[in-house]
Structure 1
């Protein structure tokens, strides 16, 4: 089966950032460098663009973005809600959903081919638990950063749940925060797409975040690591101060 909308980690690298986003491209680079990361695939930004076009909501999104005032909190909130409702309310085209579910059901099979010890943890389940992670990208702005602007979801299980979460991830491209950020950076909303990383969940004893530049002082000679027991989501959300 030839994939039009799916790219596996070991098939991508930094040259694919336009279709898999920064997060997807970096996971591909890590996989090719034999760094042990939970295996997975990316639903490319082509799927998002085809979805809004075939669902005939691209023109509705464009028209709405012409009439709102992004510096008016109420107008921004109402516009975000309107666009997200449009996206959530439309079914994913069958050809896209079919590729996503096929890749998901084959995730364990492809994982078993990996050399990494980490991959073996989730290989006993036909429908494994996965993380669904947003990876925004703009083809003509490969250097643009969209970190922290969109939503990600953990412990997603089952074909139907995965397809729904992919659509939710697409909708998160139009949160008030994401819209405001793009306006401030003068990015064209209609040229920014969203790839979706689907990655095996693992049972973690400890996890955390590493900054190769100190996030407070911007000291490039200082590496900062923050960690907690269990999943690192609480650190990312700022709910826990390690």
Structure 2
């Protein structure tokens, strides 16, 4: 079984194994958008890790015990589950497949940048149910930026898997009636965006575009959030971004809000 799949081989039909983020990156790559290259570590890799370490029943038991309104109980169970992931080693064949895909990805880097910066990737969680009509799981799991080197990559992959089991994510799935035994996670490994200088791996600016306005539910509006630096600051709620609302049909700017910046 192959656990790593490049964006060029993914589309919407692959959401069950590549997650929403991974499948959509495949769609955007096929459509010709300037998507930084990368690959997806499929949900089957997560399942293989869980099976290899006999974690499934332990996870389910802890998750069900945490199905209460007691925040302390929920957090304690979540920490125990995440520790199970971080204590385990990724099986050798799977680790080799991940690091080989990483080597192929980073060896195709820009020769004008240092080797360290060419090796930098983003390791991003890709849930199999990120954006549904009645629920949004986007932002529930973690992303890790500027990951360099094989050991750091493997550790970040485990951290992504473990982030499926934060108290917040578990509580949200409970409210949505999702069986903890059915949960799995894909991981996106993607070249970090181009640096502003040879000595920095910091993006000048970045943002998030919503093809329907999540603020008012209007599907004929586009919402753009943007800020200085990497987009994770927006996703993580660390900054208040600039916001622009655009009419899909006329492309007219309907509103613009500029946030205060340091």
The TM tier, using the shorter chain, reads: 0.7 to 0.9
Instruction: Report the secondary structure of 1:34's partner residue.
Output: coil
Q: TM-score, normalised by structure 2?
A: 0.81
Structure 2 residue aligned with 1:176: 167
Structure 1 residue aligned with 2:4: 6
Structure 1 residue aligned with 2:115: 125
Deviates more, 1:72-81 or 1:220-229: 220-229
Structure 2 residue aligned with 1:164: 155
- Structure 2 counterparts to residues 186-225 of structure 1, below 5 A: 186-202=177-193, 203=195, 204-225=203-224
Deviations 1:147-178, CA, capped at 9 Å, x for gaps: 11100000000000000000000000000011
Instruction: Report the secondary structure of 1:82's partner residue.
Output: helix
Q: Per-residue deviation at 1:124?
A: 6.2
Is there any run of 5+ residues in structure 1 with no aligned partner, and where? 113-119
Q: Larger Rg: 1 or 2? A: 2
Q: Give 1 or 2: higher helix fraction.
A: 1
Instruction: Report the secondary structure of 1:106's partner residue.
Output: helix
Larger RCO: Structure 1 or Structure 2 (Cα < 8 Å, ≥ 6 residues apart)? Answer: 1
- Structure 2 counterparts to residues 11-50 of structure 1, below 5 A: 11-50=9-48
Q: Per-residue deviation at 1:179?
A: 0.5
Inter-CA distance 233–196: structure 2 relative to 1 (3 Å threshold): same
Q: TM-score, normalised by structure 1?
A: 0.87
> Is 1:152 matched with 2:150?
no
Is there any run of 5+ residues in structure 2 with no aligned partner, and where? 196-202, 243-262
Deviates more, 1:227-236 or 1:41-50: 227-236
